[in-house]
Structure 1
Amino acid sequence: MDGIVNTKPTAGVIGLGAMGYQMARHLKEKGFTVAGYDVSAEATAKSQAIGIPTMADIGEVGSGAEVVVVMVQTDKQVVDVIGNGGLLASLAPGSVICIASSIAPDTCRQLEREAAEKGVGILDTPVVLGQEAADNGTL
């Protein structure tokens, strides 16, 4: 099939803790271009050590990604990462945010409405099977 180019979207991962780090690592190993962000210097250094660049702020991740996985702990953190001044300020229309954090359905619905106004998709993609599955890439 001449002329067909199979490209993988550029990915971002916000929250490079135990689960997010593994998600970013597996994406990188599968050939995706990945950038990350975390407030923890330790998580940032660990990711950089395996070749995942970490950005200075969430906006930098968003401006360079087509798909962003959000893996933080609380509803408030998810809202802060995505909402006003977060990813929605930097993602291009057509981009997608995957919320891997376990959050309330109402929080996800509200963020979906805000994202739709910017032409950005939201997917509620909570993970199951725990840390072992994250480590093994079988989430």
Structure 2
Amino acid sequence: MRYLIIVKATPASEAATGPAPDEAMLAGMAEFHEELARAGALLDAAGLKPSAAGWRVRYDGDSRTVIDGPFAATGELVAGYTLIQARGREEALAWSRRYPNPNGAGLPAEIEVRPLHDLDDFAPSPAIERFRAIGLPG
């Protein structure tokens, strides 16, 4: 089963003009992700640029409106993620408990972990088969 570890944005990550500046934090993240890779559990990981570099698309019926960042409510934004493969909730929980503090040692922080749907979670249908045909997991 795949799990997404979501790193919440902070005012500092939203104000950043470059990747995380703290070398100790980067080293801790590198070590953790190397462990995930050695265990065959790492599927993907990345930090996101601040919301000022992004946009949202708002849907209203058939119309779409593009809203450029930055966005308020920093705690609702995502600063980065790690996608892992685990045998179940307990294994994913064990990995997430070892995740380095994304704000730096001793600082308050929060990550969120959510299981991803696989195609096998859905009833068979022509649409699901189309997703399988393009190589999505499940």
Whether the TM-score (by the shorter chain) exceeds 0.5 is: no
Q: Which structure has the highest strand share of the two?
A: 2
Instruction: Give TM-score scaled by structure 2 length.
Output: 0.29
Q: Which has the higher helix share?
A: 1
